[in-house]
Chains A and B, each alone.
Chain A
Amino acid sequence: MANTIHIDIVSAEGEIHSGPATMVFAPASGGEIGVAPRHAPLLTTLKPGEVRVQTEGGEELMFWVGGGALEVQPHKVTVLADTAARARDLDEAAAQAAKQRAEEAIRDRVGAMEIAEAQAELARAVAQLRAIEKLRQLRKGG
Chain B
Amino acid sequence: MAGTKEIRVKIASVKSTQKITKAMEMVAASKMRRAQDRMKAARPYADKIRRVIGHLRVTNPTNHPYLVEREVKSVGMIVVSSDRGLCGSLNVNVFKNVLAMVREYQAQGVEVRLTLIGAKALQFFRRLKLPIEASITHMGDKPHIADLIGTVKAMLDLFEEKKIDRLLLVSNRFVNTMTQKPTLLPLLPAETVDQADLQERWDYIYEPAPDALIEYYMMRYIESTVYRAVVENLACEMAARMVAMKSATDNAGKLIDELQLIYNKARQAAITKEISEIVGGAAAV
- Residues in chain A within 8 A of chain B (CB atoms): 8, 10-15, 28-30, 40-45, 69, 71-74, 78, 80, 82-84, 86, 91-99, 101-103, 105-106, 113, 116-117, 120, 134, 137-138, 140-142
Total CB contacts across the A-B interface at under 8 A: 154
Chain B neighbourhood of A14, CB < 8 A: 38, 41-42
A99 to B154 CA separation, bound complex (whole angstroms):
7
Known A13-B41, A80-B48, A84-B144; contact A98-B7, beta-carbon cutoff 8 A? no
B168 to chain A, nearest CB (A): 17
- Asked whether B220 lies within 8 Å of A80 as measured between CB atoms, the reply is yes
- Asked whether A12 lies within 8 Å of B3 as measured between CB atoms, the reply is no
Contact residues on B (Cβ < 8 Å of other chain), bracket: 35 or more
A94 to B151 CA separation, bound complex (whole angstroms):
7
A51 to B132 CA separation, bound complex (whole angstroms):
40
Chosen A-B contacts, 8 in total, with CB atoms closer than 8 Å, are A10-B48, A13-B144, A43-B204, A69-B220, A98-B154, A103-B132, A105-B126, A141-B265
Known A94-B153, A95-B157, A102-B132; contact A8-B255, beta-carbon cutoff 8 A? no
Known A8-B44, A92-B153; contact A43-B213, beta-carbon cutoff 8 A? yes
Closest 9 CB pairs between A and B? A94-B150, A141-B262, A14-B41, A98-B134, A84-B146, A98-B150, A95-B153, A102-B135, A44-B207
- Asked whether B258 lies within 8 Å of A13 as measured between CB atoms, the reply is no
CB contacts under 8 Å to A, within B36-57, are: 38, 41-42, 44-46, 48-49, 52, 56
- Asked whether B227 lies within 8 Å of A13 as measured between CB atoms, the reply is yes
Chain A neighbourhood of B87, CB < 8 A: none
Point out the residue from B44, B116, B154, B206 that lies within 8 Å of A10, measured CB to CB.
B44
For B154, the closest partner residue in chain A by CB is: A95
A116 to chain B, nearest CB (A): 7
For A83, the closest partner residue in chain B by CB is: B145
A99 to B262 CA separation, bound complex (whole angstroms):
56
A69 to B214 CA separation, bound complex (whole angstroms):
11
- Asked whether A98 lies within 8 Å of B220 as measured between CB atoms, the reply is no
A106 to B123 CA separation, bound complex (whole angstroms):
9
Beyond contacts A84-B144, A91-B153, A137-B10: 17 other A-B pairs, Cβ-Cβ < 8 A, are: A8-B48, A10-B45, A13-B41, A13-B227, A29-B208, A41-B203, A72-B204, A95-B151, A98-B134, A98-B150, A99-B154, A105-B126, A105-B132, A137-B7, A138-B258, A141-B261, A142-B262
A69 to B153 CA separation, bound complex (whole angstroms):
19
Point out the residue from A10, A73, A82, A96 that lies within 8 Å of B202, measured CB to CB.
A73
- Asked whether B145 lies within 8 Å of A13 as measured between CB atoms, the reply is yes
- Asked whether B207 lies within 8 Å of A43 as measured between CB atoms, the reply is yes
Known A45-B216, A113-B123; contact A13-B38, beta-carbon cutoff 8 A? yes
A132 to chain B, nearest CB (A): 13
- Asked whether A96 lies within 8 Å of B145 as measured between CB atoms, the reply is no
- Asked whether A69 lies within 8 Å of B216 as measured between CB atoms, the reply is yes
Chain A neighbourhood of B116, CB < 8 A: 102
- Asked whether B134 lies within 8 Å of A41 as measured between CB atoms, the reply is no
A56 to B282 CA separation, bound complex (whole angstroms):
102
B88 to chain A, nearest CB (A): 15
- The reply on B105 being an interface residue by CB < 8 A is no
